Chains A and B, each alone.
Chain A
C-alpha cells in the first residue's frame, strides 16, 4: 500500500522541472507531509491501506502541483536572466564608450569600423530586447502587483532569446579585443562582456524555453497593453502618478481633437508603421542630441541610427509584441469571441 505514496512522488518527480536541489527539497517536504496525513487518517480510524489512499487524495493532483512549481521556476528564471542580460548589455555599452573615447589610442579588432558597428549599433538591438524583457518580467509585475503570466511571459521569453543570440557577436568582438592596447577600464568591461554574455545567453535561452509554461490559451496582451496597465497601476498607487496619468490622457485626447492629422502619426496602436517612422527620426535625433547641442551635428550618423531603429521595428516589432493589433486581427478575435 506504500505504492500509492511512491507513485505519487514518482509522478511529481517526473513532472517537476526545477533544479535538482529544489526537487529534492520538495519531494522531502511532501513525503513528510504525506506521512503526517497517513498518521492523521489512521488516528481517525482508517486502516493502513485506505489511510494511504485518502492521504494521497487529500494532497491534490501531482501534475497540478508540479505545474505550479514549474510556473514559479519559469518566472524566477525569466527574472534572473533579464537582470543578467541587462548587466551584460550595460557592460558592453561601457566597454564601447571607454574604448572609443578620444585619446584612447586603441586599434580595435578586427577593425575600427567593425568594432564601432558591433559595439555601438548592433548592441542596441540586444539592449532594447533586454530592456523589454526586464520591463515585462521584472518591472511590470512589480508595479502591477500581479505575477508574470500568459502572453507577456511569452513576449519576455522571446525578447530574452533574441537578446541572448544577438549578444553573442558582441561577446566575440569583446573577446577579440582583450589583447589589444585598449585602456584597462575598457578591457575590464570587454572581459565582463566576453565572459558574461555567453553565460547570460545560455541562462536567457533556458529561461525563454521555460516561458511557454506560463502561456495562456487566449490572451492578446502585448507590450503596449502592459505599458498602459502599468500606467493605470501607477496612477492608482501614487497621487503624483495619478495626476501625470490624467494629464497625459487629457493632453492626448485634446491633441486628437485639435490635430487628428498629427496624432495619426503617433498612434502606435492603430498606425504602427507611421508611428515607428516618427519614433525612428526622433530616436536618431535624440541619440545624437549631445553632438547637436555641441554644434557638431553628424546627420549621417543620426540617419543611420534612425534607419536601424526602423528596420529593427519592422523585423522584430511583431514578434516582440510592440505593434498594436491590426484592425483585422481585432475583428477576427471579436468574431471568435461571439461564436464561442
Chain B
C-alpha cells in the first residue's frame, strides 16, 4: 500500500491510537509503527498536521507537560473524539468486511 493511501486514513488511525490513552507526537508515531507490525513506516512529522487538524475539529485536546526535563505536548481524545472513534471503527469494520468478502471470491 502506498504512503498516500495510508495518509488518507491517518486521522482515523491517530484517533484509534489515542483511544488507548493520551500520547505525545513521538509516542504516537511509535505506537502506529508497533501496532501495525512495522507496516506504517510514516515520516515522523506526518502526525503533526493530523493532530492539529483533529484538535481544530474538537476531536482531541492538548497541553504541555514536562517529564525527565523534557517538554512535550500531550494529546488526548475529547468526548466528541471518543464518539468519533466508535463511529469510525464501525464504518471501517463494515467497509473492511465488504472488501474482504469480495476478495475471498476472487
**Interface set of A (CB-CB < 8 Å, partner B):** 22, 25-26, 28-30, 32-33, 35-37, 58-61, 64-65, 68-69, 72, 76
A36-B26, A58-B44 given; A69·B73 CB < 8 A:
no
A68-B49, A72-B53 given; A59·B25 CB < 8 A:
no
Write the nearest CB–CB distance from A221 to chain B, whole angstroms.
18
A32-B72, A33-B26 given; A72·B52 CB < 8 A:
yes
B37 at the interface (CB under 8 A from A): no
In whole angstroms, what is the CA distance A25 to B75 when docked? 14
A29-B25, A35-B70 given; A60·B49 CB < 8 A:
no
Which of B1-41 touch A at CB < 8 Å?
24-26
Which one, A22, A35, A37, A68, contacts B44 given CB within 8 A? A37
A65–B46 touching, CB < 8 Å: yes
B73–A32 touching, CB < 8 Å: yes
B95 at the interface (CB under 8 A from A): no
Chain A residues with CB under 8 A of B72? 32
In whole angstroms, what is the CA distance A37 to B48 when docked? 15
In whole angstroms, what is the CA distance A30 to B48 when docked? 8
Tally B residues with Cβ within 8 Å of A: 16
A-B contact pairs, 21 of them (CB 8 A): A28-B71, A28-B73, A30-B45, A30-B48, A32-B26, A32-B73, A33-B25, A33-B48, A36-B26, A37-B44, A58-B43, A59-B43, A59-B45, A60-B44, A60-B46, A61-B43, A65-B45, A65-B46, A65-B48, A69-B49, A76-B56
Chain A residues with CB under 8 A of B43? 58-61, 64-65
Chain B residues with CB under 8 A of A30? 45, 48
In whole angstroms, what is the CA distance A2 to B12 when docked? 35
Write the nearest CB–CB distance from A11 to chain B, whole angstroms.
12
Chain A residues with CB under 8 A of B49? 65, 68-69, 72
A58-B43, A72-B56 given; A36·B48 CB < 8 A:
no
One digit per residue, 1 when the CB lies within 8 angstroms of any chain A CB and 0 when it does not, for chain B 54-73 equals 00100000000000001111
In whole angstroms, what is the CA distance A117 to B1 when docked? 59
